[in-house]
Amino acid sequence: MSGQTPIHAASKASLLPLYYQVERDMRHRIESGVWQAGQQIPSEKELCALYDVSRITIRQAISALVDEGLIVRERGRGSFVRSPVITAGARGLTSFSDEMAVLGMRPGARVLSIRRELAPPEMAERLHVEAGDPVVVIHRLRYADEAPIGIQIAYLPSVRFPGLEQADLTGQSLYKHLDEVYGVQPSEAHETFSVTAVTGDDARLLNVSDGACGFHVERLTYDQKRELFEYVTSIMRGDRYQVQLVVRASRRE
């Protein structure tokens, strides 16, 4: 922390509430770059000593900055300056890696599992295969600038992609692999977003509190022949991912 001295010291003689004075100073540190995106802020104990105020005052200030979207609490780790929000809007059909690169962020992925299994009825219906047909299931944790942003599970018909379950997708785009090995290129996708609570293992993997708000995304992807080849479910962090759409009035003749 820069200088160990408040930029705007909290004063008990001021007419402004102490928590607001602390909040104002902490906001200035974030906006001026003293505390940078992704950086962990001092502990409550350290902040109490820095500003010479109670822990209740510090918690009020932090809560206000969390509500404002400047700070994010991560379970078991502490509080961090919130990284820029990834905004998904009108875009071409690209891989997650390409989308992050366009936004100026470093994409990353950890393959949690890749396996071959038999499609249950509900999955088979979505993927337009018969129940019990083999499908390849790819479970990945996606990163942006080394911070977890989403969990994706992709389902692909095994008959179209023999041996895919043995592929090494570490650091590689799935779509690039499908193009290079199987000659399949995505041409169209239908996505459905809904709000969900991030719980259990998903919350642990994404470093968010159990029950934190997130997006549940379902995606159906079609190839250059307009044939469905992929069904994907994703859980995206609500504090790091947002969807922006442009809506225009239709022209009247």
State residue 82's pLDDT score. 77
Which H/E stretch holds residue 21? Answer: helix 18-31
The two tokens of residue 163 are 């041996």
Percent composition of the chain: helix, strand, coil (DSSP 3-state, to 5): 25, 35, 40
In this structure, what DSSP letter does residue 172 have?
S
pLDDT at 3: 44
Per-residue pLDDT of the chain (253 residues; tens, 9 = 90+): 444 566 666 788 888 899 999 999 998 888 888 888 778 999 999 999 989 999 999 999 999 888 777 888 877 778 888 766 555 544 445 556 666 665 566 778 899 999 999 999 988 999 999 999 999 999 999 887 778 889 999 999 999 999 999 999 887 889 999 999 999 999 888 888 899 999 999 999 998 888 888 999 999 999 999 999 999 999 998 877 766 555 656 555 5
Domains of the chain: 18-81 (1.10.10.10), 86-243 (3.40.1410.10)
Q: Which of 214, 222, 216, 160 is nearest to 190 (CA)?
A: 222
